[in-house]
Amino acid sequence: MRFPHPRVWLCAAAAALLAACGPADAPDAQRAAPPARSQPDPHTPAGQYLEISNGLHLMLHYHALSRDNVPWDKLAAAADPAFLATENRFERQELLRSLRPQLEAQLAQHGENRYIVIPMQVQLAAYDFHRRGFPVHGFAADSYLRFGPQDYALSFTNGAEFSLVPIADEQLAREIENLRAARPSERYRARVHAYAQHTTEQAGQYTVRAQLLKVSIERPDGSVWFTY
């Protein structure tokens, strides 16, 4: 089964793109998954990263790491719109029965890998001569990424460290600035590589907290522009 890749953006405490699929099974008391035991390796091959590009991916990653009771109904609703399209509880039960083996396999895959890559869009601000780089809108200490149910989010524990793209090469800086100035509101495709450290749950909000490792930003033609 293929799942859609919605347009994703960063925002500080932004609203979700889609409504939540159902009530949370866990209580409101704060609960956190055990932190990662080892430090991430920034040289991990790209092929070992799991893509988090929709709400189902994020939900699977959260519950795989948190080890909480899995809300199978919510996962089924995110995996197949037909689950919520019917009010017949027997049909829902049958659909869940057919979806569950695939969901269990995906849950196990997410539980075995903390390296994640998030396709998204970023916006660059004007070149900063003092800091010799381009500020990136959205990366900050309090920024959250939401796509899918509004009660699930991804936050970056070191987001502020990636709030500036350092470009010391003047020729490349001029190329970027020329394109940025021509279309200052343009959003560029990016692939954000991160390492999921732990999860938190508070007042029905489920968050995967990850450490940014590197960000690759693409030119409008799809080629990699720069990585930092």
For 58-78, write each residue's pLDDT tens digit: 999 999 999 888 999 999 999
- The percentage of the chain sitting over the pLDDT mark of 90, rounded to a whole number, equals 69
Q: Where are the domains of the chain?
A: 10-14+46-54+114-227
Q: Is 131 exposed, middle or buried (0-12, 13-18, 19+ CB in 10 A)?
A: exposed
Q: According to the model, what pLDDT value does residue 45 have?
A: 92
Using pLDDT thresholds of 50, 70 and 90, give the confidence band for residue 140. confident
Q: According to the model, what pLDDT value does residue 77 have?
A: 96
DSSP-based three-state secondary structure for 105: helix
For 24-42, write each residue's pLDDT tens digit: 343 443 445 555 556 898 8
Closest C-alpha to 80, from 63, 103, 49 = 103
Residues 77-112 as b or e (16 or more Cβ within 10 Å = b): bbbbeebeeeeeeeebeebbeebbeebeebbeebee
Q: According to the model, what pLDDT value does residue 35 have?
A: 56
Does the pLDDT of residue 13 top 50, yes or no? no
Q: According to the model, what pLDDT value does residue 36 have?
A: 55
Least confident of 24-38, 43-57, 103-117: 24-38
> Rg for the chain (alpha carbons), in Å?
19
Using pLDDT thresholds of 50, 70 and 90, give the confidence band for residue 149. confident
Does the pLDDT of residue 48 top 80, yes or no? yes
For 153-180, write each residue's pLDDT tens digit: 999 999 999 999 999 899 999 999 999 9
Mean pLDDT for the stretch of residues 6-21: 36
